Homo-oligomer: A and B are copies of this chain.
Amino acid sequence: MPPNDASKPDTRTAILEAVERVIVRDGARKTTIDAVVIESGFSKGGVLYHFPSKSALLAGLVERSVAQFEADFQLALDASVAAGEPIERHLIDIHCAPDLHKQTVFRSLLAVIAEEPELLAPARDLKRRIEARLMETSKDPVLTRIVILAIDGLMHRDLLDFSPLSETDRDAVCARLNDLTKDL
């Protein structure tokens, strides 16, 4: 039976879920193969059969997280487009009320990712596609870019716990961003 057969809640997925639990619970530093082995309930040999190295394990987690984010994004985007709103607004919405769990996962991943930038490839790729779509339809590309950058800034602070904004400030910023994009 191939490893990706969807007919059973396959081992790969179970292992990746275990990695996610460990990294969120214990942080990047303590996310070792052994910890994942314990959390997943499989043996070391079993885990290393599916992911031959720690990098492979983390790459798997990044890929999975990105795929999940993209799925959510697409769904919400379609709704947004159907409602005739500028796409920028959708991006703003997502980041002004972010998915806290996924954010924690990404934050924990950051330590690992910073050491192995190649792991970021899938995320970079998704970002490029989203931005291409935004730029394509924008009536003011530079302004759109600034809005995207401001949202990156929000994300940056969230990820690094870097002087995070108060909720009031965040709301004010998001409202203004929406205002700026209302004619795009």
Residues of the B chain whose Cβ atoms lie less than 8 Å from the Cβ of A17: none
A154 within 8 A of B: yes
A14 within 8 A of B: no
Complex alpha-carbon distance, A52 and B121, angstroms: 37
B110 engages A143 (CB within 8 Å): no
- Which of the four size classes fits the interface of chain A? 35 or more
Residues of the B chain whose Cβ atoms lie less than 8 Å from the Cβ of A149: 149-151, 153-154, 157, 173
Residues of the B chain whose Cβ atoms lie less than 8 Å from the Cβ of A163: 124, 127-128, 131
A180: nearest residue on chain B (CB-CB)? B146
A48 within 8 A of B: no
B120 engages A115 (CB within 8 Å): no
Q: Which of B27, B148, B157, B176 interacts with A152 by CB under 8 Å?
A: B157
| Chain A residues engaging chain B, CB cutoff 8 angstroms | 27-29, 107, 110-117, 120, 123-124, 127-128, 131, 142-143, 145-146, 148-157, 160-163, 165, 169, 172-173, 176-177, 180
For the A-B complex with A149-B150, A150-B153, A152-B154 known, give 16 more contacts whose Cβ atoms are closer than 8 Å. Answer: A111-B114, A127-B163, A128-B163, A131-B163, A142-B172, A146-B180, A148-B153, A149-B151, A149-B153, A149-B157, A149-B173, A152-B152, A152-B153, A152-B156, A152-B162, A153-B156
